[in-house]
Amino acid sequence: MENTLIQQESDDINYHLHPYTNARKHQEQGPLVIVKGDGVYVEDIHGRKYLEAMAGLWSVALGFSEKRLVQAAMRQFEVLPFYHQFTHKTHDVAAQFAKMLIDIAPVPMSKVFFTNSGSEANDTVVKLVWYRSNALGLPNKKKIISRLKGYHGVTVASASLTGLPGNHRGFDLPIDRILHTACPHYWRDAQEGESEEQFSTRMAQELENLIRKEGPETIAAFIAEPVMGAGGVIVPPATYWEKIQAVLEKHDILFIADEVICGFGRTGKMFASETFGLKPDVLVLSKQISSSYQPLSAILLNEKMFNPIADESNKLGVLGHGFTAGGHPVAVAVGIENLNIIKERNLVENAATVGAHMLKRLHELENHPLVGEVRGVGLIAGVELVIDKAKKTALEVPGQLGTMVGKVLQDLGVISRNIGDTLAFCPPLIITVEQVDEMVDKFKQALDIVHERLNG
């Protein structure tokens, strides 16, 4: 048996190119092979159990063993294992789920376009924005503004929207017509004596300045996550969204809310747009839409976005875009059942109440010598690590401290993710207060171990 396990690890090293991984380092250290999941826990090939504090990739809302999702998939496999939505065709579950999503949207929406991942969805949004501008006779109104440290995916267009250097270096990205404005991280970037509201005013002014520099007539849309995920769990400061949206409205710029991480309860509301009072023209959804039991994403368009697109498709004879597996019936059936369960079990409320406990426990660590800032909302949080609290600096190599703490935490039985020197926590929505305590207690233990190593 042990030889079989070693062979499986060896096969992964020999034959598998991993995403978001140093390929040479992987050849040296090998993989963590996960083979089983139960609730908020997963188990590796050697029988070691871990509390999955990242819900996989911010995404497994219902945990790793929800039988109702499995049964929903199997029922659909038996009835209609595949069909598409090209050329006026559809299937019953796609139509049903589209209506469900429109019904629960945080602001009035008109249509749903199904894709398979957040990256595909945001890539599609770029094309639809350009298509709409052409429909309106505005061929120069094509630029899209994103934010530094924002994350919107990894396809050519969506990776260009992403504002992280690691997604651009070596890939000849970003492409043209994609711009980036400032990241609203108050703790890190506020000027001395600047209040949150003053900082937000400055962020809005920087956006205004960029729009004026480029020419308002060239800016089609602004895309942003309500709470930044892969950029380090950055929660917007007071009045930020109010001021940003005022700038967009002033210049008639579309607002695209990327709720791929935040949607379906993560922030303690069904959508983070409700949490922060956002009024997007486009809503991008994925991850928790199916608890990642199946690949699925959705773009919700309001009438302002949809009508010119519909007119242009009529003029040209077709909307020449779509994916073979977009809105796959099995994925959509799982999405329907997933949303039903989230509602039935009051998991949005659970995210609010248990999330408040998680943040309370994490804030108790603010006096720890390695903790610089604790930030979060609902069941998503980030803890930024430092060596020098006053200077807000970590070790000489960026990310080294976060990697050290993350490795010790994993050895203690909790899987987190270090984003540079920030440890992220985004557990399944089903997590309990007791399981949060287990997670935070082990995190505290990991901090103590690393602190002792650094100062021993």
Distance CA 244, CA 94 (A): 34
Beta bridge partners, 50, equal: 42
Compute the half-sphere exposure of residue 268: CA atoms within 13 Å on the CB side of its CA.
Answer: 17
What are 112's strand-pairing partners? 300
Per-residue pLDDT of the chain (456 residues; tens, 9 = 90+): 556 666 888 899 999 999 999 999 999 999 999 999 999 999 999 999 999 999 999 999 999 999 999 999 999 999 999 999 999 999 999 999 999 999 999 999 999 999 999 999 999 999 999 999 999 999 999 999 999 999 999 999 999 999 999 999 999 999 999 999 999 999 999 999 999 999 999 999 999 999 999 999 999 999 999 999 999 999 999 999 999 999 999 999 999 999 999 999 999 999 999 999 999 999 999 999 999 999 999 999 999 999 999 999 999 999 999 999 999 999 999 999 999 999 999 999 999 999 999 999 999 999 999 999 999 999 999 999 999 999 999 999 999 999 999 999 999 999 999 999 999 999 999 999 999 999 999 999 999 999 999 997
Angle CA 344–433–339, to nearest 5: 20
Beta-bridge partners for 180:
146
Secondary structure letter of residue 419 according to DSSP: E
What tokens were used for 106? Answer: 């945080």
C-alpha neighbours within 13 Å on the C-beta side of residue 246: 10
What is the pTM for the complete model shown? 0.96
Peptide bond before residue 108 is cis, with ω within 30 degrees of 0: no
- In the block, which residue shows the tokens 């519909």? 310
Closest C-alpha to 152, from 222, 221, 225:
225
Contact between 446 and 413 under an 8 Å Cβ cutoff? The reply is: no
CB 45 within 8 A of CB 31: no
Distance CA(135)–CA(315), nearest Å, equals 9
Give dist(CA 240, CA 237) in Å, integer.
6
